[in-house]
Amino acid sequence: MKKAIFPGSFDPITLGHLDIIERGVKLFDELIIAIGVNADKKYMFSLEERKKFIEDSFKDEPKIKVVTYKGLTVDFCLKNNVDFILRGLRNPADFEFEKAIAHTNRDLAPIETVFLLTAAKTSYISSSIVRDVIRNDGDYTKLVPETVRVQ
Q: Is residue 82 assigned to a domain? A: yes
Q: Could you give the number of structural domains in the chain? A: 1
Active site residues: 17, 41, 90, 127
Q: What is the reported pLDDT for 150?
A: 58
- Domain of residue 86, CATH code: 3.40.50.620
Report the chain's mean pLDDT, rounded to a whole number. Answer: 94
Please enumerate, by residue number, every residue annotated as part of a binding site for ATP: 9-10, 17, 88-90, 98, 122-128
Residue 115 pairs in a beta bridge with 87
Q: Is residue 149 assigned to a domain? A: no
DSSP 120: G
Please enumerate, by residue number, every residue annotated as part of a binding site: 9-10, 17, 41, 73, 87-90, 98, 122-128
| pLDDT tier at 99, thresholds 50, 70, 90 | very high
Residue 64 pairs in a beta bridge with 31
Model confidence pLDDT, tens digit, residues 7-59: 999 999 999 999 999 999 999 999 999 999 987 888 999 999 999 999 999 99
Q: Is residue 150 assigned to a domain? A: no
Please enumerate, by residue number, every residue annotated as part of a binding site for substrate: 9, 41, 73, 87
Q: How many CB atoms lie within 10 A of CB 29?
A: 10
Q: Is residue 11 assigned to a domain? A: yes
The whole model's pTM is what? 0.93
Q: Which domain holds residue 122?
A: 3-143
| pLDDT tier at 141, thresholds 50, 70, 90 | very high
Q: What is the reported pLDDT for 39?
A: 76
